[in-house]
Amino acid sequence: MKRYLPQIRLGLLFAAISGLLYFIHYSIFHDTHHIFIYMIGDLAFLPLEVFLVVILIERIISHREKLAIMQKLNMVVGAFFSEVGTGLLQRLLGCFANRNEIIRQFAIDQGWTHDDFKKAISKITSREDKSNCNNIDLEELRTFLLEKRSFLLRLLENPNLLEYEQFTDVLWAAFHLTEELEARPSMSGLPATDLQHINGDIERLYGRLASEWISYAEHLNLNYPYLFSLVARIHPFQEHPSPIVA
């Protein structure tokens, strides 16, 4: 209740001012008929005014502000994939026995349409493939994540990330896997139950990371085709990534 006390006081103040003005009007003209005509007319227009100002216009302004924030956040997402995400995605792909099939499904190029990107994200979210961390060098993965942890921490300092839950989930999944790998004194000789736990963390991170990467690639394809051209040549969902234009 206390948090709304200033608004309540302000409302009472405005009501008192309005009553005072109506009283002055009546004192001068002694015409209650005229007062109630305009009062009822104003009250009748009030719901429409609330709809136009509070709901419609405010939502339009809020939508534009959100688009501007998301535009800036996409720059942060781009920095993340340049510094961490692409390399991390490439390493995690090695965990899957059906890597070649995954590459075939997500080998984006400049001919992809919105439907292609949408289908790719749907395949990622509905995937049933399991990872096997024995297929990669866990020690190298741990070293890579620990080297990038300070960069990831700087990303979390951006307050606008609260507007982008999907990307925040990627960061949290990456931090969790980093902490899991760091907590173990050695990556060799781990029991099967522990490897299964690590596989679960890898699958969680891979799903969120790959989905976010597909969304970011579509954003570049629509808004920055010159950046998308480079991404299409060096992304990890291909056998021989190369920045060379062939």
Domain carrying residue 37: 2-60
pTM: 0.72
pLDDT at 151: 92
**Whether residue 186 is found in the same domain as residue 149:** yes
Asked if 210 and 76 count as a contact pair (C-beta separation under 8 A), the reply is: no
**Whether residue 145 is found in the same domain as residue 43:** no
**Whether residue 106 is found in the same domain as residue 212:** yes
The beta-strand segments (E) located in 39-178 are: none
**Whether residue 163 is found in the same domain as residue 120:** yes
Q: What is the pLDDT of residues 130-172, one digit of tens each?
A: 888 989 999 999 999 999 999 998 888 887 777 778 899 999 9
Q: What is d(CA 125, CA 67) in angstroms, rounded to the nearest whole number?
A: 25
Q: How many domains would you assign to the chain?
A: 2
Residue 242 lies in a domain: no
Residue 208 lies in a domain: yes
**Whether residue 34 is found in the same domain as residue 146:** no
B/e letters for 231-243, b = 16+ CB within 10 Å, e = fewer, are: bbbebbbbeeeee
Q: What is the pLDDT of residues 188-230, one digit of tens each?
A: 889 999 999 999 999 999 999 999 999 999 999 998 999 999 9
Q: What is d(CA 243, CA 173) in angstroms, rounded to the nearest whole number?
A: 29
Q: What is the pLDDT of residues 67-101, one digit of tens each?
A: 666 677 888 889 999 999 999 999 999 998 888 88
Residue 212 lies in a domain: yes
Q: Is residue 123 over pLDDT 70?
A: yes
Assign 175 to helix, strand or coil: helix
